[in-house]
């Protein structure tokens, strides 16, 4: 029995999801996800952990498919709407997905795979009402694989169980006092924990309503706010930055209307990247809310949060959430003395099970005594954690997306006109970090616009470098290794 789904029976006539201008009840979610599950079973009794990938826009159908996969005993693998085919193929091959469910707008993208693999492709439009029974799925089973970038070139699949997910959800629903009368606006992509766990799953756990926009746009967000239904909002700092800029351009009467509306919200959260204090302060002027900043990761959901009640300290991420143990450790994985900086390490039932099919990488990311090593460096500052940076320059956070510099470098090096390269994150007010690529050319006539077009077939837009420097050589240290800090400095000084 999956608790999240079982609980929905208590909220049957309430609105679970709003998308495409329509409202859908918990009852509809239960019956349609059952039909999806039975269709996926295709006559079998249990999918027994088969990986079912799905590529559909955020909305009611997404939730039905996710729950349908879980109810039939499968592992859900949500795909990113903005990924080009090679990124999708990588995930399908890595997970050895048995099935892909897709909606019609993705048919032409996926078509080249239809007759070249054993994968069963199911158009989501064909999910009609189905009779049959579903297996009893235990909470210890694996539920979800989300892909995350790390200090290895290719993204890794993070496997969480139903138990992990339930712990991640309840840490937030209790700490942030979710209620069945809440109504959250979800504008984030649904292949990452921020959109999937913090908003969609917390809302459904609580009997609340999760509303989706088909695509993020500042105007659509404010228009939706002004309908007087939404009372909870969560986003990455880039989105707050964009909302502030849009608001500042509006006539005063519109500004007043929006600000009035925002004052009635119950909760506004920022996370997935550091929230600049200037953004926190400007949003407070606009909305009257001090954004609640929290810290999390694909591998563990949320771990540290500023308080719902009590002081939210600007520039800080707060305290350990209920049920999560946190320590700061040095490079030998020994806990540091109070007041010293160290790597954030985490223990708790929220922490993921494994990297899919990567036992060595899984083992390497835990200390011998079972603490998960986040790679983030922090200090405990008067009772509130403050992030100082990351222990690898190869991890970039741009627009809330975690991006591996090494993955981009590997692809750039396959370009016939590029001899070598170094990719770094450059500090940026709007995006947190912009991706910068320094290139050593094999042929002098490289056209950057053509290079960007070439990259767009291989990488999603959010992983595409925005700034380029052409160099004769890359800075190297005495060991002959590229010094990324020098490259970063070069970008900063030539900005």
At CB < 8 A and 24+ separation, what contacts does 303-308 make?
303/344, 303/346, 303/348, 303/350, 304/344, 304/385, 305/172, 305/175, 305/176, 306/384, 307/175, 308/175, 308/176, 308/177, 308/267
Per-residue CA distances from 162 to 20, 36, 58, 165, 261 (Å):
29, 19, 21, 5, 37
32 versus 376: smaller Cβ distance to ligand AMP: 376
Does 238 contact ligand MLC by CB under 6 A? yes
Joined tokens for residue 10: 């208590």
Structure tokens at 53: 């990938």
Q: Which is nearer to ligand AMP, 72 or 345 (CB)?
A: 345
* Closer of 89 and 151 to ligand AMP (Cβ): 151
Contacts of 381 (CB under 8 A, 6+ apart): 316
DSSP 459: S
Indicate the SS3 state at residue 307: coil
Instruction: Please write down the long-range contacts of 276-283, taking CB distance under 8 Å and 24 or more positions apart.
Output: 276/237, 276/241, 276/429, 277/314, 277/315, 278/429, 279/237, 279/240, 279/241, 279/244, 280/314, 281/314, 282/244, 283/240, 283/243, 283/244
CA 482 from chain centre, in angstroms, equals 30
Evaluate the CA torsion angle 333, 335, 337, 343 in order and state its sign: positive
Which among ligand MLC, ligand AMP, none contacts residue 188 (Cβ within 5 to 8 A by kind)?
A: ligand MLC
Map residues 111-150 to x or -, x wherever contact with ligand AMP holds by CB under 6 A: -------------------------------------x--
Write out the binding residues for ligand MLC, residues 461-480 only, by CB under 6 A.
Answer: 461-462, 466
Nearer Cβ to ligand AMP (247/295): 295
Which segment (29-37, 47-55, 366-374, 459-467) binds ligand MLC by CB under 6 A? 459-467
Closest CA to 147 of 99, 188, 197, 88: 88
* Binding flag, residue 295, ligand AMP (CB under 6 A): yes
Contact region for ligand AMP (CB under 6 A) — 92-100, 171-179, 267-275, 411-419? Answer: 267-275
Q: How far apart are CA 397 and CA 274, in angstroms?
A: 9
Q: Which residues pair with 427 in a beta bridge?
A: 433
CB of 401 to ligand AMP, least distance (A): 7
For residue 28 the two structure tokens come to 């509809």
- Specify the stretch interacting with ligand AMP by CB under 6 A; choose among 26-34, 292-300, 449-457, 482-490: 292-300
Q: Which does 434 bind (CB under 5 to 8 A by kind): ligand MLC, ligand AMP, none?
A: ligand MLC
Residue 291 binding ligand MLC, by CB under 6 A: no
Determine if 298 is a binding residue for ligand AMP (CB under 6 A): yes
160 binds ligand AMP (CB under 6 A): no
Q: How far is the CB of 272 from ligand MLC (least distance, A)?
A: 3
| Sites for ligand AMP among residues 270-289 (CB under 6 A) | 271-274
CB of 304 to ligand MLC, least distance (A): 10
Question: Applying CB under 6 A, does 15 fall inside the site for ligand AMP?
Answer: no
Q: Which one of ligand AMP, ligand MLC, none interacts with residue 387, CB within 5 to 8 A by kind?
A: ligand AMP
d(CA 459, CA 86): 8
Query: Which residues are 440's β-sheet partners?
Result: 420, 471
Binding residue (CB under 6 A) for ligand MLC from 271, 342, 375, 436:
271
How far is 279 from 440, CA to CA, in rounded Å? 37
Closest CA to 168 of 202, 134, 207: 202
> Quick one: which H or E segment has residue 123?
strand 120-123
Exactly one of 18, 313, 402, 484 binds ligand AMP (CB under 6 A); which one?
402
SS3 357: coil
**Do 8 and 31 meet the contact criterion of CB atoms below 8 Å apart?**
no
Nearer to ligand MLC, 164 or 272 (CB): 272
Q: Which does 195 bind (CB under 5 to 8 A by kind): ligand AMP, ligand MLC, none?
A: ligand MLC
Build a one-symbol-per-residue string for 76-115: x at contacts with ligand MLC by CB under 6 A, - elsewhere.
----------------------------------------
157 forms part of the interface with ligand AMP (CB under 6 A): no
The Cα 232–Cα 305 span in angstroms is 16
Q: How far is the CB of 161 from ligand MLC (least distance, A)?
A: 18
Contacts (Cβ under 8 Å, ≥6 apart) of 66: 33, 54, 76, 78, 196
Choose among 266, 265, 326, 340: nearest CA to 295: 326
Task: Tell which one of 240, 401, 404, 490 touches ligand MLC (CB under 6 A).
Answer: 401
Q: Of residues 4, 165, 239, 474, which one binds ligand MLC by CB under 6 A?
A: 239
51 binds, among ligand AMP, ligand MLC, none (CB under 5 to 8 A by kind): none
Chain residues 193-212 in contact with ligand MLC, contact rule CB under 6 A: 193-195
Which one of ligand AMP, ligand MLC, none interacts with residue 274, CB within 5 to 8 A by kind?
Answer: ligand AMP
Contacts with ligand MLC by CB under 6 A lie at: 188-189, 192-195, 216, 236, 238-239, 271-272, 296-298, 398-402, 431, 434, 461-462, 466
Q: Which residues bind ligand AMP (CB under 6 A)?
A: 148, 192, 271-274, 293, 295-298, 317, 374, 376, 387, 390, 397, 402
């Amino acid at each position: 029995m999956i608790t999240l789904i079982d609980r929905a029976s208590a909220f049957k006539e309430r609105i679970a999801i709003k998308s495409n201008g329509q409202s859908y009840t918990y009852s509809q979610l239960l019956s349609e996800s059952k039909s999806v599950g039975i269709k996926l079973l295709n006559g079998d009794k249990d999918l027994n952990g088969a990986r079912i990938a799905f590529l559909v826009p955020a909305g009611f159908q997404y939730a039905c498919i996710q729950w349908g996969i879980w109810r039939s005993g499968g592992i859900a693998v949500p795909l990113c709407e903005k990924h080009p085919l090679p990124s999708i193929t990588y995930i399908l091959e890595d997970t050895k997905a048995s099935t892909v469910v897709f909606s019609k707008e993705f048919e032409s993208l996926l078509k080249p795979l239809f007759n070249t693999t054993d994968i069963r492709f199911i158009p989501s439009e064909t999910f009609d009402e189905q009779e049959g029974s579903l297996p009893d799925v235990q909470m210890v089973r694996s539920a979800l694989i989300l892909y995350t970038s790390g200090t290895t070139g290719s993204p890794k699949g993070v496997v969480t169980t139903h138990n992990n997910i339930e712990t991640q959800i309840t840490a937030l629903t209790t700490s942030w006092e979710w209620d069945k009368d809440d109504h959250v606006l979800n504008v984030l992509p649904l292949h990452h924990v921020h959109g999937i766990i913090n908003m969609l799953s917390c809302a459904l756990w609580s009997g609340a309503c999760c509303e989706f926009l088909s695509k993020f746009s500042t105007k659509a967000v404010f228009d939706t706010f002004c309908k007087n239904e939404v009372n909870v909002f969560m986003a990455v700092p880039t989105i707050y930055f964009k909302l502030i800029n849009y608001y500042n351009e509006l006539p005063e009467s519109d500004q007043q209307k929006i600000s009035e509306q925002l004052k009635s919200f119950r909760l506004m959260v920022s996370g997935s990247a550091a929230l600049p204090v200037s953004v926190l302060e400007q949003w407070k002027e606009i909305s009257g809310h001090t954004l609640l900043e929290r810290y999390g990761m694909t591998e563990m959901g949320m771990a540290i949060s500023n308080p719902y009640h009590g002081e939210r300290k600007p520039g800080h991420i707060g305290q350990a959430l209920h049920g999560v143990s946190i320590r700061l450790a040095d490079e030998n994985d020994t806990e540091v003395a109070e007041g010293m900086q160290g790597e954030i390490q985490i223990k708790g039932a929220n922490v993921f099970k494994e990297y899919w099919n990567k036992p060595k990488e899984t083992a390497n990311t835990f200390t011998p005594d079972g603490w998960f090593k986040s790679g983030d460096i922090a200090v405990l500052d008067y009772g509130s954690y403050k992030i100082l940076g990351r222990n690898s320059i190869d991890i970039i956070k741009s627009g809330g997306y975690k991006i591996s510099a090494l993955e981009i470098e590997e692809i750039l090096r396959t370009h016939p006109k590029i001899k070598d390269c170094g990719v770094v994150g450059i500090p940026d007010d709007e995006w947190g970090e912009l991706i910068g690529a320094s290139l050593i050319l094999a042929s002098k006539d490289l056209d950057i616009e053509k290079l960007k077009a070439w990259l767009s077939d291989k990488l999603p837009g959010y992983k595409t470098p925005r700034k380029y420097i052409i160099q004769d050589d890359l800075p190297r240290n005495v060991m002959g290794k590229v010094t990324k800090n020098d490259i970063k400095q070069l970008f900063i000084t030539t900005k």
